């Protein structure tokens, strides 16, 4: 199986530059294909990594729409991005990472700088503008990746952007999305293994190698029922409800049959 790493890298080296060039033009000239290119790219990556995804539900058709999800790994972005055309809310430092930062910009990610005192205000403004344009945004509400043992507490500040874009004429929608990795190569796991959860100070390249070299991966996505949010909505109560829903669903997905 040693050939898998060079094979995956070789395919990506051949396919990525032309796809990125087309996406850059699509973004510059506002071509409709700009929403589809990231989906196609992520689907290719899933095939190369041998990830099979089971999807339950779908994003709500109404806009504005904020999708709130748990977060285990960089693999979450590929799994979610391959399923539907969405943009992600990412930490500002992600935009500076080699290659990954370019990928994030190509997917029209909204970058949030958490180091400045005005970060929350600026983040609200950026998210509100994008939501108002009708773009579905994915927010990893834990603020970081977990080790897979449990869902971490949700941060409510950025969830409040949904109330900011809501109006009396039309409420915003917030929808829970749960990501889990129930097993590898047909063998169910009580918890995601260290080769799937990417957290703390784990290095990316060794983790990526383990994902490529390991058995095929089973992933699961489950969308919850969208909730209509009015301008006066309670973001803290909403964050608690979403956290409880996703935590319960996460346990069901990772322990249940795939």
Q: How far is CA 99 from the centre of its chain?
A: 17
Query: Domain spans of the chain?
Result: 4-255
pLDDT for 191 beyond 60: no
| Three-state secondary structure string covering 47-104 | HHHCEEEEEECCCCCCCCEEEEECCCCCHHHHHHHHHCCCEEEEEHHHHHCCCHHHHH
Over pLDDT 70: what percentage of the chain? 90
Least confident stretch, 14-23, 119-128, 185-194, 235-244: 185-194
Structure confidence at residue 194 (pLDDT)? 46
Average pLDDT (221-239) is 90
Structure confidence at residue 116 (pLDDT)? 66
234 token code pair: 């309670």
Average pLDDT (13-30) is 95
Beta carbons of 24 and 187 less than 8 angstroms apart: no
Q: Which of 211, 240, 216, 208 is nearest to 227 (CA)?
A: 240
pLDDT tens column, 70-123: 999 999 999 999 999 999 998 888 877 766 788 888 899 998 876 666 666 777
Average pLDDT (211-227) is 93
Structure confidence at residue 154 (pLDDT)? 95
Structure confidence at residue 233 (pLDDT)? 75
Beta carbons of 179 and 70 less than 8 angstroms apart: yes
Structure confidence at residue 113 (pLDDT)? 78
pLDDT for 202 beyond 90: no
Element (H, E) at 144: none
pLDDT tens column, 31-80: 999 999 999 999 999 999 999 999 999 999 999 999 999 999 999 999 99
What is the pairing mode between strands 172-184 and 217-223? antiparallel
* Placement of tokens 């990417």 in the chain: 198
- Compute the distance between CA of residue 214 and CA of residue 189 in angstroms, rounded to an integer: 14
In degrees, rounded to 5, the angle at the alpha carbon of residue 234 between the alpha carbons of residues 56 and 115 is 85
- Compute the distance between CA of residue 227 and CA of residue 66 in angstroms, rounded to an integer: 10
Neighbours of 240 (CB within 10 A): 14
pTM of the model: 0.91
For the chain, how long is the longest CA-to-CA vector?
A: 59
Structure confidence at residue 234 (pLDDT)? 86
* Placement of tokens 């109560």 in the chain: 237
State the sign of the Cα–Cα–Cα–Cα dihedral 16, 22, 23, 28: positive
How does residue 124 score in pLDDT terms, banded at 50, 70 and 90? confident
Structure confidence at residue 177 (pLDDT)? 98
Backbone angles phi and psi of 33, in degrees to 5:
-65, -15
pLDDT tens column, 143-178: 889 988 889 999 988 888 887 787 655 788 999 999
Mapped onto helix, strand or coil, the DSSP state of residue 6 is helix
- Compute the distance between CA of residue 151 and CA of residue 70 in angstroms, rounded to an integer: 7
* Placement of tokens 């409880």 in the chain: 244
- Considering the four listed CATH numbers 3.30.70, 2.10.260, 3.40.1130, 2.30.30, the one that applies to the domain covering 4-255 is 3.40.1130
């Amino acid at each position: 199986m040693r050939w898998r790493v060079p094979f995956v890298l070789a395919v990506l080296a051949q396919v990525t530059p032309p796809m990125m060039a087309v996406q850059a033009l699509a973004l510059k000239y506002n071509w409709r294909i700009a929403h589809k290119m990231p989906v196609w790219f992520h689907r290719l990556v899933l095939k190369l990594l041998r990830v099979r995804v089971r999807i339950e539900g779908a994003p709500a058709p109404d806009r504005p729409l904020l999708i709130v999800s748990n977060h285990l790994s960089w693999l979450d972005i590929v799994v979610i991005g391959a399923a539907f055309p969405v943009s992600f809310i990412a930490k500002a430092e992600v935009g500076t990472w080699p290659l990954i930062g370019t990928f994030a910009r190509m997917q029209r990610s909204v970058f949030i700088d958490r180091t400045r005192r005005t970060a929350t205000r600026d983040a609200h403004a950026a998210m509100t503008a994008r939501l108002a344009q009708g773009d579905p945004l994915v927010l990893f509400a834990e603020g970081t990746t977990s080790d897979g043992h449990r869902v971490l507490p949700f941060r409510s500040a950025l969830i409040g952007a949904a109330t900011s874009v809501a109006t009396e004429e039309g409420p915003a929608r917030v929808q829970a999305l749960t990501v889990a990795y129930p097993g590898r190569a047909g063998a169910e796991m009580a918890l995601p293994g260290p080769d799937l959860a990417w957290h703390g100070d784990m290095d990316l390249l060794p983790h990526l190698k383990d994902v490529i070299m390991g058995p095929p991966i089973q992933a699961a996505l489950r969308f919850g029922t969208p909730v209509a949010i009015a301008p006066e909505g309670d973001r803290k109560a909403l964050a608690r409800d979403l956290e409880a829903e996703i935590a319960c669903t996460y346990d069901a997905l990772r322990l249940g049959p795939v």
